[in-house]
Structure 1
């Protein structure tokens, strides 16, 4: 269930298991770049296949049409069903997931791709771009129908954050509100850019509540962040 959306367009979702994750939907520009990347790959592959089949005469013409169908419809379904991403999406660090952040299923992938003609109507993906422009998750018609979302991969379920020096496995003893859990997660994410002294300085703000100080406070906050993201640490 979606609980929070910050100014940075980050969706904060609480799963039925009680863990919380955050997802950052990919915008129109980066998804367009990924599409063009995939488009050129498909053009090159189809061009090579068509050049080879053209030597077969009339039979080759029929095979070219079959190859066009397979490449057009099978490219996205095959790649996204395997890993949730295509070469283009992988190049721009994107991935297709379900609305709840879990990996997309084969049925999700098939539905979102079979509805590409609707998004392309009347030309140049005009309807799809218009639909994406009017919702904060940048979902096209295919995504709405399939219950999918295109996100940046580093925010997907299962991302391990700063797990070094963390060994706590039980749930945190401190009960935090959703926005407070997000603050802990963001602290853990930013630790890579902070010096150890700065990390401890920020963690010590909560030293009384955590009942520890300095490095121990830092490690405890990182451990809590991993728990909220569903990590077993």
Structure 2
């Protein structure tokens, strides 16, 4: 399966791994189980304690089930309970969180992708596309990807700083945690790219950081050395 290459607003390439067929099916099954439990419980309560008309049953049972994926993905940052359980989520193909309009489009196309075709159209589209996208994703400009999780101290903003170290670039004070997070991600993913591609990514990152800091020249020779210094200085200045 192909990686989903996303370029951030700072022109840094980030790789997302598309959710596999197995994860998508697993999430679907878990969501179906949850919906089935809700259906069984709500119907039993309705028939036990009230003489409800058809519209009441529709309002209490059918509408929540119809809106299940739309509501959960909207309020759980692109995750239904099933998606959250298997570690996948919906994002826009530019790497930003999906919007209400994106979720609506996916939800509408769900009728074609999954409901009326028992998931056949979605299954075939995901296999052919290779980027975690069913028909609804293609229409909405979204993709379902694996969650990117920080798994070690080196993935955080933290950096080792020797005692008595004096910051070289006080201008790092204008940077945000998000900026440093991107710098660290670039530094940590050197082995994920071929040499030329990584060189371009590192240069773009350096130039974006220099521009935000408002400096024209660096004191170090070497792009990576500059980026490491920025991380160290940020740690010192921000404690």
Fold similarity call, TM over 0.5:
yes
- Indicate if the aligned counterparts of 1:54 and 1:61 stay in contact, CA closer than 8 A: no
RMSD over equivalenced CA pairs, Å: 3.8
**Runs of at least 4 residues off by over 6 Å:** none
- The structure number with the bigger radius of gyration is 2
- The alpha-carbon deviation at position 209 of structure 1 amounts to 3.9
Deviates more, 1:34-43 or 1:61-70: 61-70
Change beyond 3 A, Cα 1:20–1:49:
same
Aligned pairs, number: 185
Which of 147, 167, 182 is the aligned partner of 1:153? 147
Which of 50, 53, 61 is the aligned partner of 2:43? 50
Whole-angstrom distance in 2 between the partners of 1:221 and 1:27: 38
Residues 191-216 of structure 1 deviation map (CA, whole Å, 9 limit, x = unaligned): xxxxxxxxxxxxxxxxx84686xxxx
Whole-angstrom distance in 1 between the partners of 2:124 and 2:13: 31
Aligned to 1:85: 79
- The alpha-carbon deviation at position 36 of structure 1 amounts to 0.6
Structure 1 unaligned blocks of 5 or more: 1-7, 171-180, 190-207, 225-233
Aligned to 1:29: 22
Structure 2 unaligned blocks of 5 or more: 161-166, 174-183, 193-220, 233-239
- Indicate if the aligned counterparts of 2:73 and 2:80 stay in contact, CA closer than 8 A: yes
- Indicate if the aligned counterparts of 2:187 and 2:224 stay in contact, CA closer than 8 A: no
- The alpha-carbon deviation at position 148 of structure 1 amounts to 0.8
Which of 98, 111, 119 is the aligned partner of 2:113? 119
